[in-house]
Structure 1
């Protein structure tokens, strides 16, 4: 029975050339609230739009726009600093995913919505570890499987893992960030971050008939940010280069074709201070290079906009 399910699953992946590693909820892509000092509470609310409408065979872009994946996510971050060095961060998500396949004049549409998975991260900050105006942040945490992973289609068939709001598995997360203020321009900063996600196993996949494991994932970012005033308003602009590698997914501990790959993105960012303790943030992520395993849909454009609010403790005299 498991062998028949596996063959059916492989046929579905190959027939639709969908991806299990380029879409989904952008959890690790939205981590990293700053430690603003002891007692400071930080909250972020973001809308994330991810469009996958580019079909690749390896690094070659195919002339085929009959398949499209769109993920809309609402992301809520909470961060609290217990001390100037120890802080925690939580991220909750709601996700809507759609898949549209157009062939021979017919359109096949599938969509799901619901609460997605969450992240809990404990972080430790080390100032001046690599010289003055340098900050090192180290974080460890887990992805909590809050979202459903067993939603069925209108025909009663359980949808594949990449269309589910949740993964059905606990993941381990490691996070590292380092930033350096530039002496020749005090308002400018260079930074680098790295995130590693060690995925767990959904042991109740397809009504307990199989196990499913998304591929482990590595993300690194290298960026430059600067501040400037315009119209009596403080702006923060940045340019980030992102590298992402996803390993193949597995069903019953067997690798799945057309999953996994490497991507390089460029991400311009802009933040506007709309109140003393409130910023509006936006960023656009565009692919520079994609090299997928087999044939897959791969990201075309990603857009994020939101607000970040800081609540400082009352001063006592």
Structure 2
């Protein structure tokens, strides 16, 4: 019975992981829905020896220009010029960014109290359109590559029949390329890079409450990514906080649905100790989802992310919508 309940919690919590991983951070100037994708790893703790593999695809479209929390006719953002160590203000006008990410997440129960999770964004494809001055729209400065890997350790702080509280600590490694060049041979914008070039610390906490055992569950989670320092290009990404709250309901033994609100707070970036315009902001999304269990250890899921409130510092593109498709395998 205990193992069954842990698995039920895990199914719900895994949906949260997908949503936390799904949020594309608006932490830098170029490309409204880019920077590193935050991998929250906020799921529950597995039994000793249990192994879970999750493969997901995420698509995020951003093409709405915004100033602050209101719409505008265009979003002008600066260029980060690494060769001259300068910021070229209002250097280009943002048109569209499409972020596609394919990620592998694996979790293993080291003991009944300790679970390790590894998040590997092995394909990060960023398509980007912008125009410079009165020039034509260009779309040849996107990037593609592997992103930054994250390792999380999770431990149950409180467990009862109805309540679960899980704490997590982790580190984001600088595994992704952050020096991809543009069509002119210069290092591309930080937001368009697959990686950040920095090692970051992550703290997380998740609380789950079984309102109706094996049927209706409430969950809330908080995570914060602490950027430990600038990369060797002297670019410092801002810290990011994620706050999530929602419910999951089992319609049948095989079909469950969820609805959740996801908030993200991103601090401004810095370059050579100067604030970078058009970076950071606050964002709130509503995200419904559905999961189908096709066998005892295999399930498929999908989520749609819809913006409710988005506020950017200065001007930038904001998200139109996001889509996630994935599959989970339990061993």
Q: After TM superposition, is the score higher than 0.5?
A: yes
Contact 1:79 1:87 in 2 (8 A): yes
In the alignment, the residues of structure 2 paired with residue 149 and residue 274 of structure 1 have an alpha-carbon distance, to the nearest angstrom, of 39
Pick one of 27, 35, 59 that aligns with 2:38. Answer: 27
| Match of residue 279, structure 1, among 294, 299, 319 | 299
Task: Pick one of 213, 237, 242 that aligns with 1:214.
Answer: 237
2:55 is aligned, of 40, 45, 62, to: 45
Instruction: Work out the CA distance in 2 between the residues paired with 1:263 and 1:213.
Output: 21
User: Counterparts in 2 of 1:1-317, with a 5 A limit?
Assistant: 18-19=30-31, 22-29=33-40, 31-64=41-74, 67-93=95-121, 94-101=123-130, 106-109=136-139, 110-128=141-159, 132-183=161-212, 186-205=214-233, 211-229=234-252, 234-311=254-331
TM-score when scaled to structure 1?
0.84
Residue 17 of structure 1: how far off its partner (Å): 6.4
**1:46-68 per-position Cα deviation (integer Å, ceiling 9, x unaligned):** 00111111111000012449610
1:96-144 Cα deviation digits (max 9, x unpaired): 111112586822112111111010001101343xx64111110001100
* Contact map agreement 2:214 2:250 (CA 8 A) in 1: no
Alpha-carbon shift at residue 148 of structure 1 (Å): 0.7
Which protein is bigger by CA-based radius of gyration?
A: 1
Equivalenced residue count is: 283
Partner SS for 1:269: strand
Unaligned runs of 5+ residues in structure 2 are: 1-27, 76-93
TM-score when scaled to structure 2? 0.81
Corresponding residue number in structure 1 for 2:23: none
* Alpha-carbon distance in 2 for matches of 1:244, 1:43: 26
Deviation at 1:26, TM superposition (A): 2.3
Give distance in 2, aligned partners of 1:19 and 1:95. Answer: 14
The one-character-per-residue Cα deviations of 1:179-221 (angstroms, maximum 9, x if unpaired) are 00004x651000001110011334321xxxxx01111010000
* RMSD between superposed Cα atoms in Å: 2.0
